[in-house]
Amino acid sequence: MLQLQTLREDHEKIVVALKKRNLDAAPIIAKILELDQQRRSIQAQLDNTLAESNKLSKEIGMLFKSGKASEANQLKEKTSALKETTKQLGEHLNESAVALQEQLYLVPNIPHESVPAGNSEEDNEEIFNAGQIPKLADDALPHWELAKKYDIIDFELGVKVTGAGFPVYKGKGARLQRALIAYFLDKNTEAGYTEVQLPLMVNEASGYGTGQLPDKEGQMYHVQADNLYLIPTAEVPITNLHRDEMLSESDFPIKYTGYTPCFRREAGSYGAHVRGLNRLHQFDKVEIVRIEHPNHSYDALDDMVQHVKKILGELKLPYRILRLCGGDLGFTAALTYDFEVFSTAQDRWLEISSVSNFETFQANRLKLRFKNSDGKTQLAHTLNGSALALPRVLAGILENGQTDKGIKIPEVLIPYCGFDLID
């Protein structure tokens, strides 16, 4: 959430900056400033009314002490009217504050200056690529066919148990999943991230804190009886570990990693491009999250990108890195780098990681602050990235590793899964 003070002082610059997202923010920002002025006006009236009421109360006390009960009682009638006015103003103030907050939630983050202009994923900027795309046999299969051939993932059984988008991993498929989770966590902890095990449901405050609510409400599974949400990513519970906290500069950097299943409704996702593991309602992901001093957050972002590059280099998967354009940038992000692995059998790139800097956008919602060396309060910067999302990594391993003898397992994973070939 953008800071209200910043909107007051730089609203014209913010409107221009948000045009990079193909958004005309002028009307909503005008509404926010109008509501802010209304709220401040009501607050001033309330403060004046309370001050007058307090003054009269003192006068009444003095009159009673002086034996002027009649005059005191006349003033008491006036204080009764002021109390009613105070009550009404308080109600109006609360309504105004709620309306203001609701409008603030609708404004996305300001794109970083390096974010390219563009309307959609076609306008994203490729900044790096690595790895050799293997040349497969003419009869090479996509991963969903390989999963069936080697009986390692059963999509139909998942439909029976739950529904589409909830696969069942079997035998070497399940062991490979477990191997990838352990490998990713080990790489992250070796890089200084503290591992955490997390709740798989969060409350409404947590959803608002990291920006999934209200923006992604329709994409989240909601347990209405308890008003809890199944997490779409470990980013949500991890970042909320420090909600409503005051940190000190010495606490930085704060680095976490966590494995969780993730749950996304993915409403409206149909077609061949979402077959198999390409898009699921439940999937496994290992996340990295950092809370940083604002002066160091972009160095931290670069470090996270290098970390994910190292993992993909060890897996020997062909991949590229994209800097997302304004039209494809997530609601809460200031800058995002997407990693995509090349699926040789599908002849297309598959997103496997997003690494983002949110600057103060989440911290403002979370009230995640710190005291700087001058004793002043500042908002921290938050960052997160996938290291990594399993489904499309697994799809890449299966499709790019297929041979006439079976599916070769990346060497780095063999100690984790205990086999070098799926046959």
- pLDDT tens across the length of the chain (423 residues): 999 999 999 999 999 999 999 999 999 999 999 999 999 999 999 999 999 988 888 888 887 788 877 777 777 778 888 889 999 999 999 999 999 999 999 999 999 999 999 999 999 999 999 999 999 998 999 999 999 999 999 999 999 999 999 999 999 999 999 999 999 999 999 999 999 999 999 999 999 999 999 988 889 999 999 999 999 999 999 999 999 999 999 999 999 999 999 999 986 555 556 799 999 999 999 999 999 999 999 999 999 999 999 999 999 999 999 999 999 999 999 999 999 999 988 999 999 999 999 999 999 999 999 999 889 999 999 999 999 999 999 999 999 999 999 999 999 999 999 999 999
Q: Is 351 annotated as a binding residue?
A: yes
Q: Is 287 annotated as a binding residue?
A: yes
Prediction pTM value = 0.93
CA 348 to mean position of chain CA atoms: 26
Q: Is 264 annotated as a binding residue?
A: yes
Q: Tokens 């609510």 map to which residue? A: 213
First to last CA, the chain: 51
Q: Which of 18, 20, 33, 77 is nearest to 53 (CA)?
A: 77
Question: DSSP H helical segments within 105-154, as ranges?
Answer: 143-149
Residues in the chain: 423
Q: Is 373 annotated as a binding residue?
A: no
Q: Is 265 annotated as a binding residue?
A: yes
Side-chain half-sphere of 66: how many Cα atoms within 13 Å? 10
Q: Are strands 194-195 and 254-263 parallel, antiparallel or unpaired?
A: parallel
Q: Are strands 246-248 and 369-371 parallel, antiparallel or unpaired?
A: parallel
Q: What is the dihedral of CA 242, 35, 93, 74, to 10 degrees?
A: 150
Q: Which of 354, 338, 356, 380 is nearest to 241 (CA)?
A: 380
Q: Does the domain formed by 121-422 have CATH 1.20.1300.10?
A: no
Q: Is 266 annotated as a binding residue?
A: yes
Phi, psi of 290 (to 5 degrees): -130, 140
Task: Report CA torsion sign: 294, 298, 301, 303.
Answer: negative
- Under DSSP, the state recorded for 47 is H
Q: Is 323 annotated as a binding residue?
A: no
So where are the chain's domains?
Answer: 4-104, 121-422
Q: Is 203 annotated as a binding residue?
A: no
Long-range contacts of 404-407 (CB under 8 A, 24+ apart): 404/137, 406/150, 407/146, 407/150
Q: Tokens 């798989």 map to which residue? A: 200
Any idea which fold 4-104 has?
Helix Hairpins (1.10.287)
Record the tokens describing residue 138, joined without a space.
Answer: 């003419």
Task: Report CA torsion sign: 329, 9, 242, 306.
Answer: positive
State the Rg of the chain over Cα.
27
